[in-house]
Homo-oligomer: A and B are copies of this chain.
Amino acid sequence: MIAISRAAQSMTSSAIREILKITQRPDVISFAGGLPAPELFPTDEIRTATDRILTDQPAAALQYSTTEGHLPLRRWIAEQDGLAPDQVQITSGSQQGLDLLGRVLIDPDDVVLVESPTYLGALQAFSPYRPRFVELITDDDGIVPEALDDQLRTLSAKLLYTVPTFQNPTGRTLSAERRQALLEVTRRHRVTIIEDGPYNELRFRGERLPTLFELALADTPDPDELNVIKLGTFSKVLAPGLRDAWVQGPRAVIDKLVLAKQAADLHSPTLNQMIITELLDDVLPRQIKIISEAYGRRARVMIDNVAARFPAGVTCTDPDGGMFCWVTLPDAGIDTAEMLAAAVEECVAYVPGQPFFASGEGNNTMRLSYVTSSEAEIETGIAALSRVIAGRLADGPPLR
């Protein structure tokens, strides 16, 4: 019998993983996965680009490459924010960016501030480095900077992890005023912000807001002096299966990320980085438009159907972009994790909200994604879910 490390003994299968399995059942309308709409993938353009790369530069595409990533890709990313290429590290999905940042920044018992709820993949990525997660006070406009300032009077925190735009799981967006205030408070208390921005481009309503990284650069022109590290990805705007994302920030962090990635997997696949690079100029802006518009229509159908059908007292966020909305049931006695089996019986799936809370609360919440289903499926699925919720509310809270 092979002895497992203490760290691995505490690893248990996650909700996301089990739910990805449910979503593979073809008869289930799944609002569970964060899966981009596959019918919108730029398949033909990817096929053409791949063929061109494997015709013109096969050896470069198939050989070992540098840990930092494909230089033309890093250069393009860097230029978006006026950075140098060595302030950008390519990663295999943002999940790897989070893992490597955990390695490079977190010592055991360091305080990491997270939204309540927060992206569960970040909790999973950081947990092996044994931080102490502390939940931030949030409302419909995101993190409340004044409350953070209060918290930091008595708490010494190292990192603050946030998805400020179209947050996963709630779909909420941090308001413009609060962005500036958040930067001011974190700088004063010497807290480093990890800004995760996978959905930034997927706005279907309202005006674009500057990222925290952009705002910080406006105040501190030398990127090496920033207290913000940003993660970006091509997963939501091109194709997640290629696994291409990045981390940008001060060289002191990026230099260590390079070393951490070298030990972790040497480098991300070269071919995939070259495919993405070929798509940057023409395909990417067009895809952003196509995807945002489609997701906007689907979001509208979902939110309108939720409002029309869900029982009184159920609340749902109404996001301006991204992939998710967030439902809270009126009765804290209802456990959405436990209710999921009944929902799947009715051929509809969602993600129970509790795993998104570092504190373990949120039993009466759920995340719904509107991006993988057609508008007709969304109507049908919300009607089914509405019946399941109404049934539970009629039953009253279970005995405890």
* A interface with B by C-beta (< 8 Å): 1-8, 11-14, 16-17, 20-21, 33-36, 38-39, 41, 43, 46-47, 50-51, 54-55, 58-67, 91-93, 95-96, 99, 103-107, 110, 121, 124-125, 127-129, 158, 192, 225, 227, 229, 235, 239-243, 249-250, 252-253, 256, 259-260, 262-272
A59 vs B7: C-alpha distance when bound (angstroms): 36
Contact call A92/B92, Cβ cutoff below 8 A: yes
Establish whether residues A99 and B62, one from each chain, have CB atoms under 8 Å apart when the complex forms. no
Q: Give the nearest-CB partner of A249 in chain B.
A: B2
**Given known contacts A127-B263, A265-B99, A269-B243, is B33 in contact with A64 (CB within 8 Å)?**
yes
Inter-chain contacts of A270 with B (CB < 8 A): 241
By the criterion CB–CB under 8 Å, are A105 and B4 in contact?
yes
| B55 close to A47 (CB less than 8 A) | yes
Which residue in chain B gives the minimum CB-CB distance to A91? B265
> Please, which residue of chain B has its CB at the minimum distance from the CB of A42?
B62
Q: A43-B54, A95-B263 are in contact. Are A2 and B269 (CB under 8 A)?
A: no
Q: Are A35 and B17 in contact (CB under 8 A)?
A: no
Please, which residues of chain B bring their CB within 8 A of the CB of A235? 64
Select which of B14, B20, B34, B47 is within 8 A of A51 by beta carbon.
B47
A296 CA to B107 CA, complexed, in Å: 48
Cα separation A99 to B271 with both chains bound (whole Å): 23
A103 and B256 in contact (CB under 8 A), knowing A64-B35, A265-B243? no
B124 touches A8 (CB 8 A): no
